[in-house]
Amino acid sequence: MQETGKTKRAFEMLSELLERACALQTALTLFEWDNETLAPREASALTARTQGVLSAEYQKIMIGEEMRNCLKACDGEDLSEKEQAIVREAKKERDELCAIPPEEYRAYQELISRSTRIWTEAKKKQDFDLFAPTLKKVIDCQKKFASYRAKEGQKLYDVMLDDYEKGFDMEKLDEFFLLLKRELVPFLHEIQKSGIEIDDHFLSGNYPEDKQREAAVLLAGYVGFDFSRGVLAVSEHPFTTNLHNRDVRITTNFKERVDSSLFSVIHESGHAIYEMGIADDLTQTLVGQGASMGMHESQSRFFENILGRRESFWVPVYEKLQEIFPEELGEIALAQFVKAVNKVSAGLIRTEADELTYGLHVLVRYELEKELIEQDLPVEKIPTLWADKYEEYLGIRPQNVSEGVLQDIHWAQGSFGYFPSYALGSAFGAQILSAMEKEMDIDRLLADGRISEIREYLRKHIHRYGKRKPARTLLKEMTGEDFNPEYYVSYLKGKYGKIYGLQS
């Protein structure tokens, strides 16, 4: 009994430390949001100083003596499952921070700040050589840091992958991406050879910004973004962030192609609905966020693609969209609209990819990352390899590096192992869909305007748990089986085979 009391007391002390750490993180989140959406141009250098000080305060708490002692004393088994999850996340975060010597970490942060600046310039100038030496340094640093954290015999790229998606190492991902390559590349070629051209000209053109904003509010609200607990703003690149489960924020921006902003806002709403659905007793703790990158992406893509690109989704809402854009969509029938937003069109830019080809963009990056980290591929070789792979998998070749290897900021930011989560998210979604279909008629619910029942189902099985359980466990408990990428492939081939009249 005494031992129990001791562990409980240690956990209370831990909670106090973590409350301080989380408050600092929340402040940092607000600064990031503000920088992306509002802060004036000249503010960044001085605000970065403030952010640096707050970030150092956070690290001081996490790597401090007190935290170490608390975590040590929290090893007892008499903690609840939720408490154990908090201890687990705290240990993970602490281990990551402790693994890297502070002076190396500071130097790295400076490198990353320089690297993103140089990437921006190189992308503008379409000049990979400008970026290559810095990219090399970033990769070397990332490898060194991974080596500090690698367990006995663990491969470096596996260390990186583990940060984003626990339990998905190269062995697992090779299997996954090989399946995509084997099944989807020939399938895409069939579509390309089918000669069928879907008309989507009406999605481009004169869609005024204020009307796009109106449509964004309509669609976010329709899928279940709760404006009393959330904010919609504009930023250069759309993203979702949150201070806690009652303050979840999404951004969008407005493009020439209206489907770009419509589906982007549904996508970010999917992320937001996840965060809004996290249980009240978890928010503002270390387990009060989504389970993993991939699981988050599964929810955003579920809303964007699996629900959002179905005809039944639009039944209750398409007329309202037509009212917002009477000239542009007034004459376009629902079926025609839905067909257009499902047009397959292999392109060069990942963020503009359609649902079918998206995974192939990620495949290219996965293969290159593996070579860069595990086989010391010289960075100078990336552009050609990149172009070759795009040609092989998607049938098109970038004309310059800005629409090739320089399109994504991730590597400049030192994010290696992140990309696979995007594709995993889609695959999780397909597996989730298959499980749901056994219990409910998705099309019926959507057409009846009962999307809230689908949302509630996801909340019950995924959202409310936050990080209490690993993503792979959540998936297993919800669908009754471990991750299985076959669902993804058969979902895609079924859906697009039908649209393009192919035998499946």
Of 41 and 151, nearer to a second copy (C-beta) is 41
Q: Does 281 bind a second copy (CB under 8 A)?
A: no
Q: Which listed residue (93, 183, 268, 304) is catalytic?
A: 268
> Applying CB under 8 A, which of residues 3, 19, 129, 482 lies at the interface with a second copy?
19
Count CB atoms within 10 A of the CB of residue 66. Answer: 12
- Between helix 258-276 and helix 451-461 the angle, nearest 10°, is 50
331 flagged as catalytic: no
Q: How far is the CB of 464 from a second copy (least distance, A)?
A: 16
> Applying CB under 8 A, which of residues 13, 17, 27, 409 lies at the interface with a second copy?
27
Enumerate residues 57-116 that contact a second copy by CB under 8 A.
57
Distance CA 445, CA 453 (A): 8
Distance CA 233, CA 216 (A): 10
For 230, which DSSP code? E
Distance CA 1, CA 158 (A): 41
Of 63 and 409, nearer to a second copy (C-beta) is 63
DSSP assignment string, 257-311 = SHHHHHHHHHHHHHHHHHHHTS-TTTTTSTT-S-S-HHHHHHHHHIIIIIITTSH
CB 192 within 8 A of CB 496: no
153 torsion bin: left (phi>0), alpha (psi -120 to 50), beta (else): left
CB 284 within 8 A of CB 312: no
> Applying CB under 8 A, which of residues 1, 2, 42, 236 lies at the interface with a second copy?
42
CB 367 within 8 A of CB 389: yes
Stretch that binds a second copy, among 21-29, 148-156, 336-344, 405-413 (CB under 8 A): 21-29
Of 31 and 318, nearer to a second copy (C-beta) is 31
Q: Does 293 bind a second copy (CB under 8 A)?
A: no
Of 58 and 119, nearer to a second copy (C-beta) is 58
Of 148 and 227, nearer to a second copy (C-beta) is 227
Which residue in the block uniquely carries the two structure tokens 């649209």?
499
- Between helix 358-374 and helix 128-149 the angle, nearest 10°, is 70
Q: Does 235 bind a second copy (CB under 8 A)?
A: no
Stretch that binds a second copy, among 213-221, 228-236, 266-274, 293-301 (CB under 8 A): 228-236
- Which residues, at least 6 apart from 311, have a Cβ–Cβ distance to it below 8 Å? 334, 335, 338
> Applying CB under 8 A, which of residues 12, 53, 144, 391 lies at the interface with a second copy?
53
Q: How far is the CB of 280 from a second copy (least distance, A)?
A: 9
Q: Does 211 bind a second copy (CB under 8 A)?
A: no
> Applying CB under 8 A, which of residues 2, 41, 201, 375 lies at the interface with a second copy?
41
Of 102 and 378, nearer to a second copy (C-beta) is 102
The end-to-end CA distance of the chain, in Å, is 63
Q: Does 459 bind a second copy (CB under 8 A)?
A: no
User: Which residues contact a second copy by CB under 8 A?
Assistant: 19-20, 22-24, 26-27, 30-31, 34, 38-43, 45-47, 49-50, 53-54, 57, 226-231, 233, 243-247, 283-284
- Active site positions, annotated: 268
